Structure 1
Amino acid sequence: MTELDSIHNQVISCTKCDLCKTRTNAVPGKGNKNAEIIFIGEAPGRSEDLRGEPFVGSAGKKLSEMLEKAGLSRESVYITNVVKCRPPNNRVPTELERNSCIEYLNNEIKAINPKIICIMGNTASNSILGKGEITKNRGKIIEKDGRSYFLTFHPAATIYNQELIPVLEKDIQNLVKALDEIKGT
């Protein structure tokens, strides 16, 4: 069993917070165990809760389209969330819920050891970097604890605000360029 398999099993049996009582399925991260990029969102939505996989609903479809436009496949990256269970009515996860899951996220990052981590949205940014303000910081790389983090909007934001679609598409393209710079290619 790989380290990611172990994390997956811990996530699906987790009872650290009350979200375990309302979930259909816990949603561990999924993707390439050797990914150079990890994408991190907020929490599973309804589709993700039903299927037990991250980013399979409408926001996930948007993300997949943008990855393809930037020359990436979902199979080449790893996609996960800060919180591994769906909060009721898709509300923002509480600090307790985020703290209950942060060890799983940190272990996913450690196991994969990506070259760059794409943080999508305020909740993920707050949880990982201690700062929200995605509008102010999007498109930027922030270095913390020896890791490179690229900040952008959550794909769900483009569903409610169509004007963000080209912005997020450009951010994903810039993320790929940033990865190439980090790799020295």
Structure 2
Amino acid sequence: MIKTILTKELIQLAQQRAAGFPVEGFLRGEGPEHPKALLIGEAPGEVEVTIDIDTPFAGRAGVELMKFMETAGLTRENTYITSVFHSRPFKDRLKLNKRTGEEEMRRYNRKPTRKEVLAHAPLTDYEISLIDAPLIILLGTSAIERVLGKKAAVKDLHGKVLTTSVQYLADLEDTVYQWTDKKYSVLCTYHPASVFYNRQLASDIHEDMFAAKKWLEENSK
């Protein structure tokens, strides 16, 4: 079991490329060197970037994810878990404190922008290429669009194991992705946090993860 495959140099590069964005902290992907699957999410939240946590999907969404992973026969021990953006994107806004009756500035999670995801593209490319997992599972729109292109939609693709090229950044100065010559096996599903807003999606995610389990059983080496 390894903590992460990301090098100090890559992490420093990513942090430099994201300098100036409203983000905080940095969370490394983690998992075994030869996992059953590579699971890619969106970005860490407040809980994950807490200094004494430093674990992907450690918050409420992580509790849901563990249930879905169990359906696929996956665990933290046999899955490499990462995200397309490794810092916490946030937005600050005033909120009324009902106890004091005064407005307070609060920091909230938000979806990473395409520019932010692009800034951390070298990390995603490195993890996909070096880990070379039998199956890549993409959680939610941010991960799906980063890997499969901005026209890819979870509602159209979820539950299907695709044999496909993936996007990568050919040059650090590029703002447009290229497509790999190599084909990967990729399954898309909804982000586990989506069930907080629509509980009906839980059954869809379980079905998608069952499809992942079936594929892994049929394609295990």
User: Are 1:97 and 2:116 counterparts?
Assistant: yes
Q: Residues 32-181 of structure 1: matches in 2 within 5 Å?
A: 32-50=32-50, 51-88=53-90, 89-130=108-149, 131-145=151-165, 146-181=183-218
| Partner deviation per Cα, 1:103-141 (whole Å, 9 max, x = no partner) | 101111222110110011111111110034101211112
User: 1:73 corresponds to which letter in structure 2?
Assistant: T
Q: Cα deviations across residues 12-70 of structure 1 (Å, max 9, x unaligned)?
A: 542211367641x3011111111020111111111112133211111111111222233
Distance 1:104 1:138, change over 3 A: same
Higher-Rg member (1/2): 2
Number of aligned residue pairs: give it.
Answer: 181
State how far apart, in whole Å, the 1-side matches of 2:122 and 2:78 are: 24
Q: Which moved more, 1:137-146 or 1:39-48?
A: 137-146
CA contact 2:138–2:189 (8 Å) conserved in 1? yes
Q: 2:23 & 2:74 partners in 1: Cα distance?
A: 34
Look up the SS of the partner of 1:123 in the other structure.
helix
Q: Distance in 2 between matches of 1:103 and 1:150?
A: 21
Moved more, 86-95 or 55-64: 86-95
Confirm or deny: 8 A CA contact 1:122 1:134 kept in the other structure: yes
Query: What amino acid is the match of 1:64?
Result: M
* Runs (5+) with no aligned partner, structure 1: none
- Decide whether aligned partners of structure 1 residues 98 and 55 sit closer, same or farther in structure 2, where only a CA change above 3 A counts: same
Partner-residue secondary structure (3-state), 2:39:
strand
2:22 and 2:89 in contact (8 A); partners too: no
Length-normalised TM-score, structure 1: 0.88
Identity within the alignment, %:
31
When you count strand as a share of all residues, which structure comes out higher?
Answer: 2
Given that 1:36 and 1:115 are in contact with CA atoms closer than 8 Å, whether structure 2 keeps it comes out as: yes
Q: Take 2:140 and 2:71, find their aligned partners in 1: how far apart are those partners?
A: 20
Contact 1:119 1:150 in 2 (8 A): yes
Normalized against structure 2, the TM-score is what?
Answer: 0.75
Deviations 1:73-130 (A, max 9, x none): 2111011000010111322211111111111011112221101100111111111100
Structure 1: how far apart are the matches of 2:77 and 2:7? Answer: 17
1:26–1:84 CA contact under 8 A, matched in 2: yes
- 5+ long unaligned stretches in structure 2: 91-107, 166-182
Higher-helix-fraction structure? 1
Residues 44 and 54 of structure 1 are in contact (CA less than 8 Å); yes or no, is this contact kept in structure 2?
A: yes
**Partners of 1:113 and 1:176 in 2: CA distance:** 18
Aligned residues of 2:36 and 2:74 also touching (Cα < 8 A): no
Distance 2:88 2:9 in 1: 16
C-alpha RMSD over aligned residues: 2.1
